[in-house]
Structure 1
Amino acid sequence: MSQADSKRPLEVACPQCRKTVPWTTDHPYRPFCSKRCRLLDLGAWADESHRIAGEPAMDETDIDAWLARADRDGSD
């Protein structure tokens, strides 16, 4: 590897459009290529198109039932 190659910043693919993006502190939208791609990704999380795999979260009725059961078990 030449000295010029070692000074070149790491490049990553934009998670939204796959365009190559330099990974530097000068690039304000990293790892995205633009504000548009960053907002598109945020919108996908907001409308639940993007999800993290795992157990479903408890809803409020589950939490209330769990707390009632814990109170009942702790009062003996």
Structure 2
Amino acid sequence: MSDFSTTPEVPCPQCGKRLYWTSDNPWRPFCSKRCRTLDLGAWADESHRIAGEPALDEANIEELMERLERGDNDRR
């Protein structure tokens, strides 16, 4: 059992319920297996995603290569 007087209390990323960050909680940072599973499902169906550069469309590769060869760095 953990000493809760020095243990950080954090919100569950899924439901917001406050919980102690201890090794006694096998689902941390989530409060339960249900919240962990819901979060995993959100990543799987792409509701959660990490922002980034859009993927390069293969149809534009020739145009990109031509612009780079000309020294044209203008992104359109």
TM-score, normalising length from structure 1? 0.65
Q: Give the SS at the match of 2:19.
A: strand
TM-superposed deviation, 1:44: 0.2
2:14 aligns with 16
Q: Give the SS at the match of 1:12.
A: strand
1:53 aligns with 51
More helix by share: 1
Query: CA–CA distance in 1 between the matches of 2:46 and 2:19?
Result: 26
Structure 1 runs (4+) greater than 6 angstroms displaced: none
Give the alignment's Cα RMSD to 1 decimal: 2.4
Query: CA–CA distance in 1 between the matches of 2:48 and 2:12?
Result: 16
Q: Structure 1 residues 58 and 46, CA, compared in 2 at 3 Å: closer, same or farther?
A: farther
AA at the equivalent of 1:39: T
Paired residue for 1:32, among 30, 33, 45?
A: 30
Which residues of structure 1 form unaligned runs of 5+? 70-76
Query: CA–CA distance in 2 between the matches of 1:40 and 1:47?
Result: 11
